[in-house]
Amino acid sequence: MRKIAIIGGTGIYSPETLQCFEEKVIQTPYGAALCNIGTMCGNQVIFITRHGVGHKTAPHKVNYRANIWALKSLGTEEIFATTAVGSLNPDMEPGHFVVCDQVLDFTKSRINTFYDNPERGVAHVDFTNPYCPRLRDKVINCLYKTDIIFHKKGCYVCTEGPRFETAAEIKMFAMLGGDLVGMTNMPESLLAREAEMCYTNCSIVTNMAAGISPTPLSHSEVVEAMDKSIKNMEQLIGAFIAANEADSMECGCPQCMTEFGGFTL
């Protein structure tokens, strides 16, 4: 049995695809995390709504540490995260899916590590490849079996939010190699790495970014675009959970903290 977590971003709020799910509040040293726990295709599946019920938690206020700690305490091994993003890349159009392979972190005020106290000490995790290559390969293989238009690589620029970016910022991000811009993949992906869990992200392009889009940006535009892609994302999530065949590659995520004695709760 695989132990999988789905972290739903904007527009991905419902765990209705899970069988016999139950809502459970997990207490952690960083606060409580609300998890929906169920089964699908013989696997344990845990669903977390990143922004909370009714999308009431802003990106910079998400309790990333509590969410990741809760998933680890429940035995999670794989995390599939979804994000709604703006595009800096003209080839990545609204409605396209992108299996990100790199990150540029422009967050400012978020606590981004579990190793910030004397008890845990200092740890420097390798983040050369911020997304698990094994899970990325699994997602890509699932996408090949659909009619979804997707890109196998993309650099996700994570900004602080909750405001949208300026046109000048978008121009700078593009010059640095960014393809997409969003507000939630950091420190989420980093904390998952520290906790020795495999993590991958699939972004849905909802709009062209500031200065590229011919119209002012709005959250309603993002939600409307996500509504159009929700069936495709549900299809992909279902295929990912059902993909129980042997993986074509291995990864080092579960052992990435060995140098520091491994990650412990």
Task: Tell me if 130 is assigned to some domain.
Answer: yes
- Residue 72, judged by CB atoms within 10 A of its CB (0-12, 13-18, 19+), counts as buried
pLDDT in tens, 82-91: 999 999 999 9
Question: Band of the pLDDT at 169, cuts 50, 70, 90?
Answer: very high
> Is residue 122 over pLDDT 70?
yes
pLDDT in tens, 23-69: 999 999 999 999 999 888 889 999 999 887 777 899 999 999 999 99
Task: Give the integer Cα–Cα distance in Å for 195 and 69.
Answer: 8
Question: Band of the pLDDT at 102, cuts 50, 70, 90?
Answer: very high
Task: Tell me if 214 is assigned to some domain.
Answer: yes
Which positions make up the binding site for phosphate? 10, 50-51, 83-84, 184
Task: Tell me if 258 is assigned to some domain.
Answer: no
Task: Tell me if 114 is assigned to some domain.
Answer: yes
Supply the range of the domain harboring residue 135. 3-253
Region for residue 41 given its phi and psi (left: phi exceeds 0; alpha: psi -120 to 50; beta: otherwise): left
CB 82 within 8 A of CB 99: no
**Can you give the CATH number for the domain in which 247 is found?**
3.40.50.1580
Task: Tell me if 43 is assigned to some domain.
Answer: yes
Which positions make up the binding site for substrate? 183, 207-209
CB 184 within 8 A of CB 84: no
Task: Tell me if 159 is assigned to some domain.
Answer: yes
Tokens of 172: 């700078």
Helix (H) or strand (E) holding 48: strand 43-49
Radius of gyration of the chain (CA): 17
Buried b (16+ CB within 10 A) or exposed e, 43-66: bbbbbbbbbeeeeeeebeebbbbb
> Is residue 219 over pLDDT 80?
no
Task: Tell me if 260 is assigned to some domain.
Answer: no
Which positions make up the binding site? 10, 50-51, 83-84, 183-184, 207-209
Mean pLDDT of 211-232: 77
Task: Tell me if 264 is assigned to some domain.
Answer: no
Q: How many domains does the chain have?
A: 1
- Give the CA distances from residue 51 to residues 63, 77, 213, in Å, rounded to whole numbers and listed in that order: 9, 22, 25
CB 142 within 8 A of CB 97: no
Q: What is the pLDDT of residue 232?
A: 92
